[in-house]
């Protein structure tokens, strides 16, 4: 009885009631998440209206002249990527995960380096590497004592097979990362079970590890294919007409926005099919982590002699081609042109890119924080769906985003200009499309998902009980967010901002289609020089983008592939 009385006194003397500690509904957060989802989804809505504005005759004409050939080219390109990226990524992940050989630790990190090379820069470098005056053909002529191309045959890098090779050399790390991460968690127990049953390493790989790694393998391959679909710069330089390049060409060269939108919707269906295929591959898969076994001491099989040499070669070749060739070729050009001075146009392009990417990173992180916090406060299915929808921009190629952004923004600019002329006899011109705002918008739509993923993962590491405890002490929801959660999440926020910043610097497809007159980013600077056959002058800028791209690779290596 005394205890009950004391308890009642404590509750009575407490300045806060149970209602103060109970979480509020946070309906305004859900409304805000819906508004963000609408802003991000506007390009898709606009794209549908643009496609419907065109007639069936236009679509039929495109089907006869462009669609069939571009679709076939895109299909062959994607099949080639599946074969090469899947093989390179899976084999290299298998070798560094389960075997010990000279240089294994270096290769475990180095195999991710090609991810730092943008696809269009890789295309420029490989073209120079395999051209008639490049080191490969020069060596062929010296060894065979040839004087001209009539004396020998050499494959043309500016072709569809060449495009498959170039993209595979820089996109295989997607497969390597996902497969090795799964091997690290699951593969060790599986390989031990196979050895106990008397199976050799080949049978273990084919019958146990590859079926086990199917979801991770499909995920990596799908990511590589989506990056290939997004590419314009490499396809343009290599002379390969994919669906993405056809959309760009029809819009820029023919001025047919309705036809471009119709092709863009077809491309969007291809992207959605890839996403559904990846989810289907994971359907019904239930892999349970092995508890302490996932991180327990694991003794890799020691390779010696010829087997060790072959393992080194299989790991060295992808790194040397995917990262070494671009760095060496472009580094040579950069060193040559540094002697003549720094190009002022490159400095201006770099400053413009840094400004636009910095604004995009700031806006992207703020929106990602808002969306992740909305799910934390109101973890309902509608809110989760809105946040997921708002994060789908990363799955859309830059051409689709650019095409969907341009028409509504241009219409708004024209409306404002018309009203200002009518009311005040003042011409405002193109307020948004004439500035870098459209580029920032495109970067935020495309890369906000990168920030949201990093921030959401950080939120999940912080117990919701911390929020409730602070609310019991009288903290408002805003103070909980600013005084408690944000300080705890500074590393994740910095990482998210850095990733969005660097991805925005490298983005070419949307930038190429949306850049206003007089605004030049570093990616456009490099592309314009390469298009005019002056790739040597683009060496410094290309090398700068590659070294900036290494930063996300370092982050990935520290967070996902810790070799315990």
218-267 pLDDT, tens per residue?
A: 888 888 888 888 888 889 889 898 888 888 877 777 767 777 777 788 88
**pLDDT value for 111:** 92
Residue 438 in this model has a pLDDT that exceeds 80: yes
Burial state string for 110-145 with b = 16 or more CB within 10 A and e = fewer than 16? bbbbbbbbbbbbbbbbbbbbbbeeeeebeeebeeee
Residue 390 in this model has a pLDDT that exceeds 80: no
Task: With respect to residue 292, please indicate whether it lies within any of the assigned structural domains.
Answer: no
d(CA 271, CA 274): 5
Task: With respect to residue 215, please indicate whether it lies within any of the assigned structural domains.
Answer: yes
Task: With respect to residue 348, please indicate whether it lies within any of the assigned structural domains.
Answer: yes
Per 3-state DSSP, the chain is made up of helix, strand and coil in percentages (nearest 5) of 80, 0, 20
**pLDDT value for 411:** 80
Task: Calculate what percentage of the chain has a pLDDT beyond 70.
Answer: 82
Residue 487 in this model has a pLDDT that exceeds 50: yes
Please tell me the least confidently modeled range out of 15-24, 310-319, 425-434, 468-477: 15-24
Task: With respect to residue 551, please indicate whether it lies within any of the assigned structural domains.
Answer: yes
**pLDDT value for 13:** 45
Q: What is the CATH number of the domain that holds 59?
A: 1.10.3720.10
Mean pLDDT of the 132-159 span: 85
Task: With respect to residue 492, please indicate whether it lies within any of the assigned structural domains.
Answer: yes
Is the CB of residue 364 less than 8 Å from the CB of residue 444? yes
Residue 184 in this model has a pLDDT that exceeds 80: no
Backbone φ and ψ of 340, nearest 5°: -95, 0
Mean pLDDT of the 42-64 span: 74
**pLDDT value for 58:** 65
**pLDDT value for 283:** 61
Residue 323 in this model has a pLDDT that exceeds 90: yes
Backbone φ and ψ of 286, nearest 5°: -130, 95
- Going by C-alpha positions, the residue among 530, 477, 446 that lies closest to residue 127 is 530
**pLDDT value for 59:** 65
**pLDDT value for 250:** 78
Is the CB of residue 369 less than 8 Å from the CB of residue 455? yes
d(CA 66, CA 250): 9
R_g over Cα of the chain: 27
Is residue 387 very low, low, confident or very high in pLDDT (cuts 50, 70, 90)? confident
* Residue predicted with more confidence, 214 or 101: 101
Task: Calculate what percentage of the chain has a pLDDT beyond 90.
Answer: 15
Write down the mean pLDDT value for the chain. 80
* Residue predicted with more confidence, 422 or 294: 422
Please tell me the least confidently modeled range out of 88-97, 241-250, 277-286, 455-464: 277-286
**pLDDT value for 326:** 93
Is residue 294 very low, low, confident or very high in pLDDT (cuts 50, 70, 90)? very low
Mean pLDDT of the 547-557 span: 81
Mean pLDDT of the 275-299 span: 56
Which structure tokens are listed for 62? Answer: 């495109």
- pLDDT tens per residue, range 392-415: 777 778 888 888 888 788 888 788
- Going by C-alpha positions, the residue among 327, 369, 346 that lies closest to residue 500 is 369
- Going by C-alpha positions, the residue among 350, 401, 357 that lies closest to residue 526 is 350
d(CA 62, CA 45): 22
**pLDDT value for 563:** 46
* Residue predicted with more confidence, 354 or 416: 354
Task: With respect to residue 489, please indicate whether it lies within any of the assigned structural domains.
Answer: yes
**pLDDT value for 315:** 93
**pLDDT value for 553:** 80
- Going by C-alpha positions, the residue among 373, 408, 376, 371 that lies closest to residue 392 is 371
Residue 5 in this model has a pLDDT that exceeds 60: no
Q: What is the pTM of this model?
A: 0.81
Residue 429 in this model has a pLDDT that exceeds 80: no
Please tell me the least confidently modeled range out of 180-194, 433-447, 458-472, 504-518: 180-194
Neighbour tally for 29: CB within 10 Å: 20
Please tell me the least confidently modeled range out of 127-136, 211-220, 364-373: 211-220
Task: With respect to residue 1, please indicate whether it lies within any of the assigned structural domains.
Answer: no
d(CA 94, CA 206): 11
Q: Residue 17: enclosing H or E segment and its boundaries?
A: none
Q: How many domains does the chain have?
A: 1
Mean pLDDT of the 64-69 span: 76
Mean pLDDT of the 110-123 span: 91
Is residue 134 very low, low, confident or very high in pLDDT (cuts 50, 70, 90)? confident
**pLDDT value for 370:** 86
Which structure tokens are listed for 70? Answer: 């571009």
Task: With respect to residue 14, please indicate whether it lies within any of the assigned structural domains.
Answer: no
CA angle 62, 67, 69 (to 5 degrees): 125
d(CA 117, CA 125): 10
For 81-136, the DSSP string reads HHHHHHHHHHHHHHHHHHEE-TTHHHHHHHTTGGGGS-HHHHHHHHHHHHSTTSHH
Backbone φ and ψ of 563, nearest 5°: -90, 90
Q: Which stretches does DSSP call E strand in 96-247?
A: 99-100
* Residue predicted with more confidence, 253 or 353: 353
d(CA 121, CA 129): 12
* Residue predicted with more confidence, 358 or 461: 358
Domain range for 64: 26-287+302-559
**pLDDT value for 25:** 56
- Going by C-alpha positions, the residue among 223, 132, 97, 214 that lies closest to residue 170 is 223
């Amino acid at each position: 009885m005394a205890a009950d009385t004391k308890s009642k006194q404590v509750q009575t003397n407490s300045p806060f009631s149970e209602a103060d500690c109970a979480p509020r509904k946070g309906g305004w957060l859900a409304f805000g998440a819906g508004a963000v989802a609408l802003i991000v989804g506007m390009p898709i809505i606009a794209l549908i209206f643009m496609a419907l504005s065109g007639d069936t005759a236009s679509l039929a004409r495109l089907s006869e002249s462009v669609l069939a050939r571009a679709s076939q080219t895109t299909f062959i390109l994607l099949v080639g990527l599946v074969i090469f990226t899947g093989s390179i990524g899976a084999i290299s992940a298998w070798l560094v995960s389960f075997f010990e050989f000279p240089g294994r630790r270096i290769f475990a990190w180095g195999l991710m380096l090609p991810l730092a090379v943008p696809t269009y820069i890789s295309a420029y470098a490989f073209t120079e590497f395999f051209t008639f005056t490049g080191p490969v053909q020069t060596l062929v002529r010296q060894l065979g004592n040839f004087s001209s191309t009539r004396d020998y045959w050499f494959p043309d890098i500016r072709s569809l097979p060449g495009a498959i090779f170039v993209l595979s050399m820089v996109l295989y790390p997607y497969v390597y990362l996902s497969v090795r991460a799964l091997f690290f968690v699951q593969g060790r127990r599986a390989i031990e079970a196979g050895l106990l049953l008397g199976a050799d390493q080949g049978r273990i790989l084919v019958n146990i590890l590859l079926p086990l790694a199917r979801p991770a393998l499909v995920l990596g391959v799908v990511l590589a294919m989506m990056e290939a679909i997004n590419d314009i710069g490499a396809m343009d330089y290599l002379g390969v007409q994919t669906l993405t390049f056809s959309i760009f060409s029809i819009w820029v060269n023919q001025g047919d926005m309705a036809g471009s939108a119709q092709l863009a919707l077809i491309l969007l269906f291809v992207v959605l099919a890839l996403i559904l295929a990846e989810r289907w591959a994971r359907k019904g898969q239930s892999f349970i982590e092995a508890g302490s076994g996932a991180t327990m001491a694991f003794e890799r099989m020691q390779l010696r002699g010829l087997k060790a040499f072959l393992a080194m070669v299989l790991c060295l070749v992808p790194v040397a081609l995917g990262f070494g060739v671009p760095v060496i070729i472009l580094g040579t050009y950069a060193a040559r042109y540094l002697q003549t001075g720094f190009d002022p146009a490159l400095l201006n392009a770099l400053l413009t890119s840094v400004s636009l990417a910095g604004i995009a990173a700031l806006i992207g992180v703020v929106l990602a924080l808002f969306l992740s916090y909305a799910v934390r406060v109101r973890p309902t299915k509608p809110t989760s769906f809105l946040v997921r929808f708002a994060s789908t921009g990363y799955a859309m190629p830059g051409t689709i985003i650019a095409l969907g952004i341009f028409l509504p923004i241009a219409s708004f600019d024209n409306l404002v200009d018309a009203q200002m002329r009518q009311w005040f006899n003042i011409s405002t011109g193109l307020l948004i499309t004439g500035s870098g705002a459209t580029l920032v918008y495109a970067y935020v739509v495309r890369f906000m998902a990168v920030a949201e993923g990093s921030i959401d993962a950080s939120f999940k590491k912080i117990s919701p009980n911390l929020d409730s405890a602070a609310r019991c002490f009288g903290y408002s929801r805003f103070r909980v967010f600013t005084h408690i959660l944000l300080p705890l999440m500074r590393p994740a926020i910095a990482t998210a901002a850095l990733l969005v910043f660097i991805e925005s610097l490298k983005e070419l497809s949307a930038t190429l289609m949306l850049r206003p007159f007089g605004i030049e980013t570093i990616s456009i600077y490099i592309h314009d020089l390469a298009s005019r056959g002056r790739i040597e002058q683009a060496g410094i800028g290309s090398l700068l983008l590659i070294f900036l791209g290494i930063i996300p690779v370092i982050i990935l290596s520290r967070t996902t592939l810790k070799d315990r």
